[in-house]
Amino acid sequence: MRRQAKRRVLQTLPLMPTTRSDTSQPDQDLLSRTNPPDADLPMDVESARLRLESVWENCDDLEYRSLEVACGRLLIVWLKPLVGKDIAQAGIIEPLSRAVSELVSMQDVRRRIWSPTIHAHRTWSATDSALAEGNMMVFVDGSAEVLGVDVNAFQARPIGKAEAEPSVIGPQNAFVEDVDKNIGLIRTIVKTPQFKVELHVVGQLSQTKVAVCYLGNLCKPELVTEVRARLGRVKLDGVLDLNMIRESTNDAPFSLFPLDQTTERPDRVAAALLQARIAILCDGSPAAMMLPATFMNHLQSHEDYYLNFVAAGMVRVLRHVMYWSSFLLPALFVSIVAYHPQMVPTQLLVSLAASHEGVPFPSAIEALIMVLIFEALREAGIRLPKAVGQSVSIVGALVLGQAAVAAGLVSPAMVIVVALSGVASFTIPNYALSYTNRLLSIVFLLLASVFGLLGVSIGMFILLTHLVSLRSYGVPYLAPIAPLEWKSLLRDTFFRAPWWNMQSRPALMEPQQSARERTPRPGPESGRR
């Protein structure tokens, strides 16, 4: 019966010209050619229902409800898992059922529906998208448009605390997988009509909502245009996470360094917007991508702005030292011990030689084994459940390290150096940058084992040259060091100036309004005034 109904509706539709000689294609393919997704809606409810049954065939979660009203027939269609039953019953079905004799036009139907969000659609592509997003679609005989009523009640994960970026002080909220909730979290902080949100749909099959957020009175218009253009060039079947947008819009897709800043905290996004930057949110991803981003942004923590500026400056300097130590320390140790022992004090050299006595491997192989074991333990701790992951990584490191030293496979000094390097990597606030350092530590260790300090120097030269060549949406990656920009360097790079002294936004972002709101320097004199 369904196939006969399909044939009846096909006979009433105009045939499109085609050059295919094969007539053995199924009715579904013929229907898609004769009634493309961007075609206009039919004027009668029966044709609309037949088309929906054909396109949404084998979708048993699709529900239909028909009503006889004064203007003809009325058809309500929705996807059962996405729609809130109570909202749909009280706001749509009951009001329309009570007033069947009064509904003589689409305007009457619209007035009877109790919902703050009602959109009219005129094409099948818009209708299918709205239906898949959890809207109830209301078709009326004689109308060339359909009403989409937003009654989506799909239960997403509740808003909780940040796990990847925990904080002792400051806001605790974290993003979830619902892009609308994430936008709402930002709007609770940035309460101004200048906060602009542009929604894009990316993914041919997933139809994923991607939000571009910025402050219209601060952000550079050319930057907004560039972000729109790059998103428009993304052609994917589906977008499952923000990283798919990142890899499709990156300035240097083969670089190991992250050219954007990712966070799960709404307060960090709000701070980036106030710096005239742009935030991109993706439906299904509990994070936001902030751009442009510089290398220095990745070494800044959100707690730097919630601590006293003197303490925050000390922590930032320590963090920079730990960053370079995380991948250079094993390489420097191997190169000095193996190739340049004259650089080590005599007593220390004797102690190192005594600790290495009996170890069957050279220092380079010894260091490589320890680094790989440490990385394996860290990866195992991440993949295991949280309740046992930390215990396994800590106990595994202690047991394996002690056993390796007792068996004479590695020296105690090498265990200490690799452990210090691992601890230093934990101080990096950016998760993507920490993965980059894990790869760099192996590369520099190989260079040091072959060429000594010369190899480490060559590696640093190549690394710095690569960093200087990178751009993030036109902004130099090593700014404000290269090119040198003194105000940003002194106020919010290695140190953080007090809030009353941050009088301008980063010049490299080229904000429309560079001056911030000025706060007078606090103190007894200013209070008496």
Tens digits of residue pLDDT in 151-194: 887 777 888 888 888 888 888 899 999 999 999 999 999 999 99
Q: Is 498 part of a structural domain of the chain?
A: no
Q: Is 71 part of a structural domain of the chain?
A: yes
Q: Give the angle 146-150-153 at the CA atoms, nearest 5°.
A: 140
- Evaluate whether 115 touches 83 at the Cβ level (below 8 Å): no
- Separation of alpha carbons 359 and 323, rounded Å: 30
The answer to whether residues 94 and 125 belong to one domain is: yes
Q: Which of residues 250, 265, 293 is at a domain's end?
A: 293
31 CA to centre of own chain: 38
Name the percent of the chain lying above pLDDT 90.
43
Distances (CA, A) of 145 to 10, 52, 74, 84: 21, 15, 12, 24
The answer to whether residues 203 and 330 belong to one domain is: no
Q: How many CB atoms are located within 10 Å of the residue 397 CB?
A: 19
Section 408-424 average pLDDT: 88
Whether residue 120 is predicted with pLDDT greater than 50 in this model: the reply is: yes
The answer to whether residues 280 and 318 belong to one domain is: no
Q: Is 158 part of a structural domain of the chain?
A: no
Tell me which DSSP letter residue 91 carries: I
E strand or H helix that includes residue 289: strand 288-291
What burial class does residue 488 get, using C-beta atoms within 10 Å of its C-beta: 0-12 exposed, 13-18 middle, 19+ buried? Answer: buried
Q: Is 528 part of a structural domain of the chain?
A: no
Q: How many CB atoms are located within 10 Å of the residue 437 CB?
A: 21
The answer to whether residues 270 and 140 belong to one domain is: no
Name the percent of the chain lying above pLDDT 70.
89
Q: Is 159 part of a structural domain of the chain?
A: no
Q: Domain tally for the chain?
A: 3
The answer to whether residues 144 and 100 belong to one domain is: yes
Q: Is 221 part of a structural domain of the chain?
A: yes
- Evaluate whether 290 touches 259 at the Cβ level (below 8 Å): no
- Separation of alpha carbons 66 and 72, rounded Å: 11
Q: Is 302 part of a structural domain of the chain?
A: no
Whether residue 20 is predicted with pLDDT greater than 60 in this model: the reply is: no
The answer to whether residues 140 and 246 belong to one domain is: no
- Separation of alpha carbons 111 and 115, rounded Å: 10
The answer to whether residues 315 and 444 belong to one domain is: yes
The answer to whether residues 279 and 314 belong to one domain is: no
The answer to whether residues 274 and 317 belong to one domain is: no
Place of tokens 């994430």: 182
443 vs 166, more confident: 443
Task: Give me the pLDDT at residue 345, please.
Answer: 87
The answer to whether residues 325 and 223 belong to one domain is: no
Q: Which of residues 449, 476, 503 is at a domain's end?
A: 476
470 vs 87, more confident: 470
- Separation of alpha carbons 351 and 353, rounded Å: 5
Q: Is 62 part of a structural domain of the chain?
A: yes
Q: Which of residues 476, 504, 520 is at a domain's end?
A: 476
Section 518-526 average pLDDT: 76
- pLDDT category, 387, cuts 50, 70, 90? low
Task: Give me the pLDDT at residue 393, please.
Answer: 65
Residue 475, sorted as left (phi over 0), alpha (psi -120 to 50) or beta, turns out to be: beta
Q: How many CB atoms are located within 10 Å of the residue 176 CB?
A: 18
Token pair of 434 as six digits = 């920490």
The answer to whether residues 191 and 285 belong to one domain is: yes
- Separation of alpha carbons 105 and 145, rounded Å: 12
The lowest-confidence range among 193-197, 353-357, 439-443 is 353-357
- Separation of alpha carbons 306 and 421, rounded Å: 28
The answer to whether residues 14 and 135 belong to one domain is: yes
Pairing of strands 208-215, 278-282: antiparallel
Residue span of the structural domain in which 7 resides: 2-150
- Separation of alpha carbons 80 and 74, rounded Å: 19
